[in-house]
Structure 1
């Protein structure tokens, strides 16, 4: 069957966006990459673009079938609205709740194109894993989802390195979190309900953070007693963040905090992405808990070593594009990550990377 998506624009060629473009090309798509800064020496066509130029964004979307936005979350709505206006399929990596709500509104107004936000790790892959585990249960008591992108060799009290967007990290630490408690949706403060977690002998701590569940609370409300998403960090990290935000009164200075943290804990190449999903309930009539635990390390793609956070995020996003393009997901309307089967994701060219790596 012929693909419904053949030409894809990628907006933002940073540490994830460039690899998204590479993996799309490897999967047989014609790719055009757009970035504010001119880029040369890449194996796909690139063009400069100011995403604040509404007319320029719409012009960049003419002639392509889809766009993957790898931009900071606050720029995604403009791209989604341009995709809506030009009839282009839309994908992004956002964890921002208001952005996703706007994308849902656009999808309802333009039901003949795909709108698939939240195609990264959390929300994204972790929701696909959790929902796929839950599908095998007769009754579901709880779905517990956790992700952490960390340095393999941490130093200092924070034990962290900013390999991901500082804006996104600060947002998830400060914005309230949507959870299910007693089967009902609630909003609770971030960086609370801390717990110890061990993965392959490594001790971590987990605390609630915002945005990681995407649309799962609305999907599972009334069907699951307890559902939450927590971020994994090395022990003591959240205590230090509480000191920074609360004792130093920096909650209202997010930009300042972001710059401070990146300066203090810059990106590293030797990172690790931990993914931990667990579902409890009744299976085949008996109480049961099923876990899916992975530890992803940097790998080589196209002759270059890519950080774990970059390739896991990019592979998850490109796999969703492949599933829509090949007709294994709807090519119109809003796509929830929890409606994607993990086996289907792993069967794609990009998704096989996630299946073949990370087992512990």
Structure 2
């Protein structure tokens, strides 16, 4: 059934942009947040997100709900969406939350689509597209990083994303496939160098970026891993901070210290670097998808690269559900979404823009 009305829970930077993009796409949008929101082009309501009964009362009037909330809220929202046959989408990187939502999906009459952001999300769609070109895949390497365009200091970083999310990525174990074996490895390891647009960078293991890909490709791909991209020297300092100074023992304090030291910047860049190696017609071949995405103006307002790449990915998937190009119930794996179809949606086309951004009119 086509979607008409969509509820967006959480109106931070990404949640607000999700609402803006969905409305521009033609959906009826209502946003909900813990505090009053004014000046937006769509209707908003103030509710207590911790009171699931308030959330449910609002959800019932809509065909779909998009959770842009902090991940501990997501499972309760997903349960209620499943119970009331409402399509569900979120941006979570948290693996236990996703596994719990997968269990719900076995009896769901609606779509349950977590992990619809950038990583996990878009990077899995790109990786799966690369893998399809091969008779046999030896290595599938996926790397993503959101950095300031003009980094300063030894860390070369700015917390344009949730500090809680970044801290979890740096401290939670990481899924990989290594030599055909599904493994869990330590974060902030396997450090490598890479160059994008002539800029020297580094990448290292972080958690959550692969979504369900290890389960999907076990026995199919020999080596599969995800790493975050940062400025050279970043991982050494973060290992010192979390492990030698024992900040891993207080994640909330660690996030506060880091955000205070490296607040968000307006001029950021999102790097995406995906590569696949394997056999094509009995020859060993390497293919790559590499791009740098910059802030864009939408209806006269500038949106950071991390905000729009995250929001546009989710909105493109909502579009595909609406058009019927994705199954209309059950769990959606990001790697099952066709990149070509994704990039043809109104929001997916944002990823085809010139690498240095631009303006999008209403």
* TM-score class normalised by the smaller sequence: over 0.9
Instruction: Give TM-score scaled by structure 2 length.
Output: 0.97
1:241 and 2:238 correspond: yes
Tell me the residue number matched to 1:139: 136
- Pick one of 53, 56, 63 that aligns with 2:54: 56
Q: Deviations over 1:45-94 (max 9, x none)?
A: 00012111011011010110001111111221121112112211000001
Tell me the residue number matched to 2:276: 279
1:324 and 2:321 correspond: yes
> Would the aligned equivalents of 1:67 and 1:83 in 2 still touch at CA under 8 Å?
yes
User: Pairwise CA RMSD of aligned residues?
Assistant: 1.1
User: Secondary structure at the residue paired with 2:92?
Assistant: coil
> Would the aligned equivalents of 1:146 and 1:230 in 2 still touch at CA under 8 Å?
yes
Give the superposition deviation at 1:105: 1.1
- Pick one of 64, 69, 72 that aligns with 1:71: 69
Tell me the residue number matched to 2:222: 225
- Pick one of 149, 157, 160 that aligns with 2:157: 160
Tell me the residue number matched to 1:31: 29
Q: Deviations over 1:24-55 (max 9, x none)?
A: 00111000000111101110000012111011
Q: Rate the CA distance shift 1:292–1:328 in 2: closer, same or farther, 3 A.
A: same
Give the superposition deviation at 1:180: 0.1
Give the superposition deviation at 1:135: 0.7
Q: Deviations over 1:118-151 (max 9, x none)?
A: 0001000000000011111111101000000000
Give the superposition deviation at 1:356: 2.1
Give the superposition deviation at 1:359: 8.1
How many angstroms apart in 1 are the aligned matches of 2:192 and 2:198?
16
Q: Deviations over 1:282-308 (max 9, x none)?
A: 113311000000100001112111000
How many angstroms apart in 1 are the aligned matches of 2:25 and 2:100?
29
Instruction: Give TM-score scaled by structure 1 length.
Output: 0.98
> Would the aligned equivalents of 1:294 and 1:359 in 2 still touch at CA under 8 Å?
no
How many angstroms apart in 1 are the aligned matches of 2:334 and 2:291?
19
Alignment of 1:93-112 (within 5 A): 93-110=91-108, 112=109
How many angstroms apart in 1 are the aligned matches of 2:178 and 2:8?
38
Alignment of 1:339-350 (within 5 A): 339-350=336-347
> Would the aligned equivalents of 1:293 and 1:359 in 2 still touch at CA under 8 Å?
no
How many angstroms apart in 2 are the aligned matches of 1:71 and 1:302?
25
1:264 and 2:254 correspond: no
Tell me the residue number matched to 2:305: 308
Q: Deviations over 1:238-297 (max 9, x none)?
A: 111011111111111000000111110000000000000000001133110000001000
How many angstroms apart in 1 are the aligned matches of 2:350 and 2:298?
10
How many angstroms apart in 2 are the aligned matches of 1:5 and 1:285?
45
> Would the aligned equivalents of 1:274 and 1:296 in 2 still touch at CA under 8 Å?
yes
Stretches of structure 1 that go unaligned for 5 or more consecutive residues are none
How many angstroms apart in 2 are the aligned matches of 1:262 and 1:356?
30
